[in-house]
Structure 1
Amino acid sequence: GNFGVGELVKVSSTERIEREVLTEAVERVVRNHAVWNSFINTDVVPWRWCPKPSEHKSVVVSEIQVGDNTPEEGLAKAVTREISIRDKDIFLLNLLKVFYVESNTTDPGNQWEYNFGFIHSHSTMDGASFLIFLREILEVLGTKMSNDTWQVLDKEEIVTERELVEFLRTKLTLNESVPDWPS
């Protein structure tokens, strides 16, 4: 009951997404939007996740090899293994672990496929909001152009991080809450 396991997220791309770009995308989303060391406010309807100050906000992104398993099976085994050893760093460091599998497909329209799995403690973050943002970021994320701009796949324009996040916020439903952009 002390671990929260996020859904598996699958993303296809016509171009290979470099690990550094994936890692930075995850770190940016977590830094700006995850609710760390959170608690549930049951005095409001619907219940809301609320942040508390936290000294540690750590993210680890790891590529895993699945061998003869499917990507989904490989991710499930990796997540299950982490839960079974009850990694104390997940609690001590408010650690979010992200596992992913990269596959090269035969589909000419989407040659690269990425499967993601997540593990974190319940007190680490608002998992639903984070997963929504991560899914949307990976669907539109193209080539990182500089520290604050991103080339969006299949478009000519270059957008800033703020513009990208504002676009992603429109994807949320009314029942999902995300902290405001940091001032």
Structure 2
Amino acid sequence: MSPTMILGLVVLAASWLAWFWPFAFRAPHNQRRPSITLATPTRAGLLLECTAICIALACRQSFIDPLPWWRFAGMLVFGVIAGLLSWSSVRHLGRQFRVNAGLYDDHELVTTGAYALVRHPIYASLLAILASTLFLFTPWQWAILSIALFLAGTEIRVAAEDGLLDSRFGARFAQYKGRVKAYIPFVR
């Protein structure tokens, strides 16, 4: 294994850790507050997203010797984006963070930090960490399948969460939705 591939693996592991850290150690857990939860559709979407990540990790080609610079650069850029988005998302969402789609009785519409860039920055961060992984060692055929499954799962989750936010915040959410893309800046 080349030194560049070893460096790539170390950077990818650090990127995953930087992405995961705020969810594991900064986000509030086990909140006992009244809420409305919409779990069924979001679980189906989450299953598709997890399948996409498993494909990216399991269907890899042999370690490339040496690792092309463009693969390393793509992995690094998307890894940094993933980390920044996850930290900003958890920080600005604060005590409203939850794994399943839902709203607390005292839920507020968050439009600051990463939420000023995209409505669903946690999904954007997950897409970025997936892209980082794909750049390092996933063959293009598997990468396309992985991205397609991930986007299908994310669309399910976005639709469910947008529906909840629209039902709670009405015109304020419609205005926010009209000016801020869902999870890919300037695109979707």
Normalised by the shorter chain, which TM-score bucket?
Answer: under 0.3
**Higher RCO (Cα < 8 Å, 6 or more apart):** 2
Which structure shows the bigger proportion of residues in helix conformation? 2
Normalising by structure 2, what TM-score?
0.25
Normalising by structure 1, what TM-score?
0.25
Which structure shows the bigger proportion of residues in strand conformation? 1
